[in-house]
């Protein structure tokens, strides 16, 4: 991706007959004109009870796409990684995703798990998503619940981690679709890179309209969310803070590693905690039982959570996929999101904010982390 | 195979025996499964001690050896040799440090004994998981590439050349000699500068084993210690590129001067008769010190430390050559008045003080000053300055000579990249260790000498050229194979996810990326086993031999239990 620069102007687009169809109309036009060759976008599965990402090459199929799906059954960055992990390919692909998915894609590009060269990342103002368990019980009801809530920008039915997301409109990819602050029956398209500008150019859409009202609305909303986030994380911290509380929280973990499988950032071929390195001879377990009185099985559940946290919290985008996947309803996403705030904050880093910002652990800066230096030194 | 572990505790004279209850340590480990023998000995590193160990290994049929004694820095190698001599693989051995880490850190014998037991148990547990590692040998090329044909490069070439070792000397200028060829005389002997270099250049020219490339630059250096592939390009004849192989590289690219135009207060290029030290040297070698109008100056000021604040270091040689300039002036212009403006006078060494005492005199002043400024004052140049007490003064002179800071050559960044070394303070090539490894670099087989490493005078430059040559002569012997590091890193093909983080943290350029398989690959010949890639690898694919996860884990389990 070329260097990012959020344009101060955007394009106001007519949302007729509705925003969804207007977005799809633009995507169709772009495929027509060869601006991109394929679109990666969520679509409802035939059974109707879930959504997956689909790589659409036949533009007539676009009409069934759902740019804003009510659930996140597949994290978009996972899909992009599947498509481009082995190289960029010769097709230009537009990926329509939520902001957190776009940011995860950018993180993965820094880890060579995604090649963004022929990708155009398009994000959308995100009202949040419903939790999988809420939706799957009655998809029809869920669909209506989501549509109504999205319309009113009401986050109460959304997942807890979405309720405290202050980056729902963060622009990190190439283009962004802004629905906030738009006049009736319109939405904004905002470009964030040269690639984005080029796409708009080829589509003959001029980026000359003011986006002030979008920016103002995003600002108010994210300030509200920040306040909410602060309080919620404070409560969470008092619930899970300290070793005893932490052990209690993760004691419910059944070691299924679903959280890891759905996490876009967890990309190891074989998780350390699934490897032979954590399988010990029985004497070891007996020895551990002897020194502590007893040990639980399966072992190392808290260790797994802590290890995963250590490995990925610097790149965590708080997308909530892990919590959705947890059969034990452990608030994993909220916990990880809280930790990510702290770890990323200590490096002035925001995961996926900027493709040119290097990962903090491989970037050496002389002026950082003085607070953890040995004061006697 | 059944393990028979031998545990030997060294008394280290009274060092360990007085502070640790060794019998208790023996008690604690002798019942451990697999421990065939646990004994103490007075001084295991002594000739008798080594003989004792060798006999024990053979007599008891030991398969693994644990020694509780001193720091591995002291005697790990000693005991590994014992293992080799006794016929067991030297990596089936573990040394527990119960001297520095137990005996020497407390007066409490109980505590020291407890910890010694822990460390010894940890070593016993660890050694079970050790694997035999085999030394590798690879063919090496004894030839050497020397970059830079100044005094440093010439000296290194002459030291290195022999009938069975070819030296390729590459110089970017049309002729050899470097900066020295500009010097009329050298301090403190005040003998002609050409004396020290002419003969050496002739020796180089006559030597059939030194191939000189003038007007040439090094384009590419690929490979590793013992096996570098080099491309040299001649800059006058287009596209003429020569390729050859060498085993080591010496960077002797010298220095250049800080541009005094960056410190406009000294009037350089603004006023006539303001010269840099190099311009003044060239004037002297041409025979006459004269002003722009052809007359001899009656007075001159030498301004030291030009650019010192900007660069942030003292250039070491300027004070000495400034004294030499005073001599030039006095020798050529009998009644000349010379004023030196310095911020700190730096004249270390056994003969320089005498030279200074003999140089200063009634017509030669030394003023410790700050805020020096050169202005035009009629036909003359005015010098305003603050003296040591902070009061403002000024004088007028006919000529001003500036002593600018010594800088690395402009192509240093490019050469650092080509040879895979880093630049340190001031942009000079970074040595491996400022005290313990002043001519080696982070890339094995690449050495730095002379002003390329930092400002220095001719004797220090010669010393470094000889040091680098010594390093090469002792490690790259014609006909002898080289032994690369054994404890190298390995990246598992099935676990590597191709994120390339390891490539960015490897200081030795030992990791490459296999684009077809999308995985990182370690070149075990270049790898020095620092472990950076293991720490950086997020997917557990990188591991380092002899420090595997399991070995460390097993040791820790016992140590922290």
Residues A106 and A164 in one domain: yes
For residues B399 and B286, membership in a common domain is answered with yes
* DSSP code at position A2: -
Cβ A270–B538 below 8 Å, yes or no? no
pLDDT category at A376 given cuts 50, 70, 90 is low
Q: Is the pLDDT of residue A4 over 60?
A: no
Final residue in a domain of this structure, among B449, B475, B501: B475
Question: Is residue A239 in some structural domain?
Answer: yes
Last residue of a domain, one of B133, B156, B186: B133
Establish if A86 belongs to a structural domain.
Answer: yes
- Residue A26 tokens, joined: 């633009």
Q: Pick A112's closest partner by Cβ from B498, B540, B550.
A: B498
Report pLDDT digits (tens) over B248-278: 999 999 999 999 999 999 999 999 999 999 9
Range of the structural domain that residue B540 is part of: 489-545
Using a CB-CB cut-off of 8 Å, the residues of chain A touching B539 are 267-270
Q: Does A29 reside within a domain? A: yes
Residues with Cβ < 8 Å from A162, sequence gap 6 or more?
A126, A128, A129, A155, A168, A320
Would the CB atoms of B495 and A359 count as touching at under 8 Å? no
Answer yes or no: do A346 and A255 share one domain: yes
Q: Name chain B contacts of A81, Cβ cutoff 8 Å.
A: none
Residue A171 Cα, gap to closest chain B Cα (Å): 25
Spatial separation of the C-alpha atoms in residues B397 and A39, rounded to whole Å: 78
Answer whether residue A225 shows pLDDT above 70. yes
- The confidence band for B289, taking pLDDT boundaries of 50, 70 and 90, is very high
Between B499, B538, B549, which is nearest A277 by CB? B549
Please tell me the predicted confidence (pLDDT) of residue B158: 97
Test B539 with A361 for CB contact under 8 angstroms. Answer: no
In angstroms, rounded to a whole number, what is the distance separating the alpha carbons of residues B228 and B244?
9
What pLDDT is stored for residue A2 in this prediction? Answer: 40
Residues A198 and A291 placed together within one structural domain of the fold? no
Q: Is B243 helix (H, G, I), strand (E, B) or coil?
A: strand
pLDDT at A1: 38
Closest by CA to B106, choosing from B12, B17, B13, B19, is B19
Q: What is residue B462's predicted lDDT score, i.e. its pLDDT?
A: 96
Residues A27 and A160 in one domain: yes
Residue that terminates a domain, selected from A154, A178, A210:
A210
Name the more confident of A362 and B413.
B413
Co-location of B384 and B447 in the same domain: no
Nearest residue in chain B measured CA to CA from A285: B557
Residue indicated by tokens 């776009």: A102
- pLDDT category at B134 given cuts 50, 70, 90 is very high
**What pLDDT sits at residue B215?**
94
- State percent of chain B over pLDDT 90: 84
Pair (A205, A240) in one structural domain: no
Site from B129, B424, B516, B539 to mutate, A interface, most A CB atoms within 10 angstroms: B539
Is B540 in contact with A111 (Cβ distance < 8 A)?
no
Evaluate whether residue B553 is within a structural domain.
Answer: no
Is the same domain home to B121 and B150? no
User: What integer pLDDT is reported at residue B1 of this predicted model?
Assistant: 61
**DSSP per residue, A107-142:** HHHHTTS---TTEEEEEE-------HHHHHH-HHHH
SS (H, E, C) B189-203: CCEEHHHHHHHHHHH
On whether both A304 and A155 belong to a single domain, the answer is no
Mean pLDDT in residue range B91-109: 97
Please indicate, yes or no, if residue A1 is contained in any of the structural domains. Answer: no
pLDDT band at A178 (very low <50, low <70, confident <90, very high): very high
Calculate ∠ Cα B544-B548-B553, nearest 5°: 150
Q: Rounded to an integer, what is the distance from CA B551 to the centroid of its chain? A: 33
User: Are residues B539 and A277, on separate chains, in Cβ contact within 8 Å?
Assistant: no
Interface with B, mutate which of A81, A292, A313, A362 (most B CBs under 10 A) = A362
Mean pLDDT, residues B528-542: 91
What pLDDT is recorded for position B260?
97
Q: Are residues B263 and B391 in the same domain?
A: yes
> From the CA of B427, how many Å to the nearest CA of chain A?
17
Q: Are residues A28 and A170 both part of a single domain? A: yes
Tell me the two tokens of residue B178: 């470097």
- Asked if the model's pLDDT at residue A377 lies above 60, the reply is no
Among A12-16, B135-139, B452-456, the range scoring the smallest mean pLDDT is: B135-139
User: Under a CB-based contact definition with an 8 Å cutoff, are residues B157 and B252 in contact?
Assistant: no
Percentage of chain A beyond pLDDT 70 is 97
When divided into structural domains, chain B yields a total of 4
**Which of A210, A242, A259 marks a domain boundary?**
A210
Q: Is the pLDDT of residue B397 over 60?
A: yes
Residue A373 has pLDDT above 90, yes or no: no
Residues A271 and A178 in one domain: no
Residues B227, B281 within the same domain: no
DSSP class of residue B393? E
User: Considering CB atoms only, which of B495, B518, B550 is closest to A270?
Assistant: B495
B399: CATH = 3.50.50.60
Query: Chain B residues with CB-CB distance to A under 8 A?
Result: 494-501, 504-505, 518, 536, 538-541, 549-550, 553, 557, 561
User: pLDDT tier at B475 (50, 70, 90 boundaries)?
Assistant: very high
The predicted model gives B442-449 an average pLDDT of 93
Rounded to two decimals, what is the model's pTM?
0.72
CA dist list (Å): B12 to B15, B18, B76 = 5, 10, 14
Please answer yes or no on whether A275 and B538 come within 8 Å at the CB atom. no
Over chain B, what is the mean pLDDT?
94
Contacts of A368 (CB under 8 A, 6+ apart): A346, A347, A348
Q: Would the CB atoms of B495 and A269 count as touching at under 8 Å?
A: yes
Does residue B401 sit in the same domain as residue B263? yes
| Amino acid B48: pLDDT | 97
Let me know if residue B484 belongs to a domain.
no
Residue A3 has pLDDT above 50, yes or no: no
> What average pLDDT score do residues A214-220 get?
96
Question: What is the least distance, in Å, from the CA of A105 to any CA of chain B?
Answer: 14
- Has residue B514 been placed in a domain? yes
DSSP, residue by residue, A45-69? -TTSS-EEEEEE-SGGGGGGB-SS-
Question: Which residue of chain B has the CA closest to A265?
Answer: B538
Residue at which a domain ends, from B423, B449, B475:
B475
B312 and B397 co-located in one domain: yes
In a domain, B493, yes or no: yes
A87 pLDDT exceeds 80? yes
Residue located via tokens 């040689």: B317
Per-residue pLDDT, averaged over A167-196, amounts to 95
Specify whether A72 is located in the same domain as A159.
Answer: yes
Claim to verify: residue A199 and residue A243 sit in the same structural domain: no
B216 falls within a domain: yes
Q: Do B49 and B72 share a structural domain?
A: yes
Task: Tell me the CA distances in angstroms from A21 to A32, A35, A62, A145, one per residue in order.
Answer: 16, 19, 10, 20
Q: Are A314 and A340 in contact (CB under 8 A)?
A: yes
> Taking CB atoms and an 8 Å cutoff, what residues of chain B touch A361?
536
Total number of domains in chain A: 2
- Asked if residue A221 belongs to a domain, the reply is no
For residues B284 and B187, membership in a common domain is answered with no
B372 and B295 belong to one structural domain: yes
- B265 and B383 co-located in one domain: yes
Q: Give residue-wise pLDDT tens across range B196-230.
A: 799 999 999 999 999 999 999 999 998 889 999 99
Q: Answer yes or no: is pLDDT of A278 > 90.
A: no
Q: Closest residue of A to B498, CA-based?
A: A112
CATH code where residue B495 lies: 3.30.70.20
Question: Residue B538's closest chain A neighbor by CA?
Answer: A311
Same domain, A201 and A239: no
Chain B residues with CB under 8 Å of A311 CB are: 538
CA distance A272 to chain B (A): 7
Q: Closest chain B residue to A307 measured between Cα atoms?
A: B538
Looking at the structure, do residues B337 and B214 belong to the same domain, yes or no? no
Instruction: Give CA–CA dist A82/A80, Å, rounded.
Output: 5
Greatest mean pLDDT range, A286-290, B92-96, B480-484, B526-530: B92-96
Q: Are residues A110 and A147 in the same domain?
A: yes
Residue A226 covered by a domain: no
Distance CA A131, CA A79 (A): 20
Query: Strand pairing partners for A65?
Result: A43
Give B493-531 pLDDT, tens digit per residue. 989 999 999 998 887 888 999 999 999 999 988 898 999
Question: Is B182 contained in some domain?
Answer: yes
R_g of chain A computed on alpha carbons? 22
Query: Domain residues for A309?
Result: 232-372
Q: With an 8 Å Cβ cutoff, are B540 and A361 in contact?
A: no
Provide, as residue numbers in chain A, all residues whose Cβ is less than 8 Å from the Cβ of B495. 268-270
Tell me how far apart the alpha carbons of residues A354 and A346 are, in angstroms, rounded to a whole number: 17
Residue A277 lies in a domain: yes
């Amino acid at each position: 991706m070329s260097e990012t620069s959020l344009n101060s102007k955007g394009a106001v687009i007519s949302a007729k007959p509705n925003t969804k169809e207007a977005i799809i109309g633009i995507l169709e036009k772009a495929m027509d004109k060869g601006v991109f060759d394929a679109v990666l976008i969520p679509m409802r599965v035939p059974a109707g009870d879930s959504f997956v990402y689909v790589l659409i090459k036949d533009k007539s199929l676009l009409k069934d796409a759902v740019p804003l799906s009510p659930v996140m059954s597949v994290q978009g960055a996972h899909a992009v990684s599947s498509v481009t992990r082995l190289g960029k390919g010769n097709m230009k692909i537009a990926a329509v995703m939520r902001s957190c998915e776009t940011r995860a894609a950018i993180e993965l590009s820094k880890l060579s798990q995604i090649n963004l060269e022929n990708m155009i990342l398009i994000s959308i103002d995100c009202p949040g998503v419903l939790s999988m368990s809420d939706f799957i019980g009655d998809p029809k009801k869920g669909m209506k619940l989501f549509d109504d809530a999205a319309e009113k920008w009401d986050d109460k039915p959304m997942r807890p981690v979405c309720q405290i997301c202050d980056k729902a409109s963060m622009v990190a990819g190439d283009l962004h679709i802004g629905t906030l602050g738009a006049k009736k029956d319109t939405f904004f398209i905002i470009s964030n890179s040269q690639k984005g500008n080029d796409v708009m150019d080829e589509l003959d859409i001029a980026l000359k309209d003011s986006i002030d009202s979008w920016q103002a609305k995003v600002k108010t909303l994210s300030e509200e969310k920040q306040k909410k986030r602060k309080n919620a994380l404070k409560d969470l911290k008092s619930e899970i803070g300290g070793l005893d509380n932490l052990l209690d929280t993760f004691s419910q973990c059944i070691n299924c590693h679903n959280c890891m499988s759905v996490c876009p950032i967890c990309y190891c071929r074989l998780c350390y905690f699934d490897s032979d390195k954590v399988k010990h001879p029985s004497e070891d377990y007996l020895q551990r039982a002897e020194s502590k009185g007893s040990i639980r099985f399966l072992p190392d559940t808290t260790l797994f959570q802590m290890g995963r946290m250590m490995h990925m919290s610097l790149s965590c985008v708080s997308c909530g996929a892990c919590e959705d996947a947890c059969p034990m309803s452990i608030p994993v996403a909220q916990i990880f999101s809280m930790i990510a705030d702290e770890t990323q904050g200590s490096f002035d880093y925001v995961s996926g904010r900027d493709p040119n910002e290097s990962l903090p652990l491989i970037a050496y800066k002389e002026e950082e982390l003085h607070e953890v230096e040995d004061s006697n030194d | 195979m059944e393990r028979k572990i031998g545990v030997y505790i060294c008394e280290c004279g009274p060092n360990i025996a007085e502070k640790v209850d060794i019998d208790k340590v023996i008690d604690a480990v002798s019942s451990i499964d697999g421990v065939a023998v646990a004994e103490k000995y007075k001084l295991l590193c002594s000739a008798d001690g080594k003989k004792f160990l060798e006999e024990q290994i053979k007599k008891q049929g030991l398969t693994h050896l644990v020694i509780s004694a001193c720091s591995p820095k002291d005697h790990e190698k000693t005991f590994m040799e014992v293992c080799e001599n006794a016929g067991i693989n030297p990596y089936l051995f573990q040394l527990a440090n119960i001297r520095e880490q137990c005996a020497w850190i407390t007066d409490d014998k109980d505590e020291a004994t407890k910890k010694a037991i822990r460390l010894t148990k940890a070593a016993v547990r660890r050694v079970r998981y050790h694997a035999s590692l085999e030394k590798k040998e690879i063919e090496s090329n004894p030839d050497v590439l020397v970059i830079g044909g100044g005094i440093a490069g010439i000296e290194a070439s002459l030291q290195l050349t022999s009938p069975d070792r070819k030296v390729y000397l590459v110089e970017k200028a049309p002729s050899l000699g470097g900066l020295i060829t500009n010097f009329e005389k050298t301090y403190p002997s005040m003998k002609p500068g050409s004396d020290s270099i002419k003969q050496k250049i002739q020796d180089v020219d006559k030597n059939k084993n030194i191939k000189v490339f003038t007007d040439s630059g090094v384009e590419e250096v690929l490979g590793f210690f013992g096996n570098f592939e080099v491309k040299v390009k001649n800059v006058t004849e287009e596209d003429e590129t020569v390729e050859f192989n060498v085993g080591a590289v010496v960077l002797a690219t010298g220095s250049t001067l800080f541009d005094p135009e960056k410190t406009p207060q000294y009037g350089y290029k603004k006023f006539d008769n303001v010269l840099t030290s190099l311009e003044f040297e060239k004037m002297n070698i041409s025979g006459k010190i004269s002003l722009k109008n052809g007359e001899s100056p009656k007075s001159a000021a030498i301004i030291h430390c030009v650019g010192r604040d900007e660069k942030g270091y003292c250039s070491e040689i300027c004070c000495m050559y400034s004294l030499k300039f005073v001599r030039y002036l006095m020798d050529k212009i009998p009644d000349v008045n010379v004023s030196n403006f310095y911020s700190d006078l730096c004249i270390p060494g056994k003969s320089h003080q005498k030279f200074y005492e003999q140089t200063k005199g009634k017509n030669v002043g030394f003023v410790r000053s700050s805020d020096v400024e050169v202005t035009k004052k009629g036909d003359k140049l005015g010098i305003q300055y603050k003296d040591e007490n902070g009061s403002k003064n000024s004088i007028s002179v006919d000529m001003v000579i500036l002593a600018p800071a010594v800088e690395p050559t402009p192509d240093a960044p490019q050469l650092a990249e080509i040879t895979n070394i880093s630049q340190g303070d001031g942009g000079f090539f970074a040595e491996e260790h400022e005290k313990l490894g002043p001519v080696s670099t982070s890339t094995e087989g690449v050495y730095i000498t002379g002003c390329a490493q930092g400002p220095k005078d001719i004797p220090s430059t010669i010393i470094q050229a000889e040091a680098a040559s010594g390093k090469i002569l002792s490690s790259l012997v014609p006909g002898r194979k080289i032994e690369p590091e054994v404890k190298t890193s390995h990246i598992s093909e099935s676990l590597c996810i191709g994120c390339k983080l390891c490539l960015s943290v490897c200081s030795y350029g030992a990791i490459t990326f296999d684009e077809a398989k999308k995985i990182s690959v370690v070149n075990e010949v270049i790898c020095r086993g620092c472990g950076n890639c293991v720490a950086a690898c997020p997917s557990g694919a990188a591991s380092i031999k002899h420090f595997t996860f399991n070995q460390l884990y097993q040791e820790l389990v016992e140590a922290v239990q």
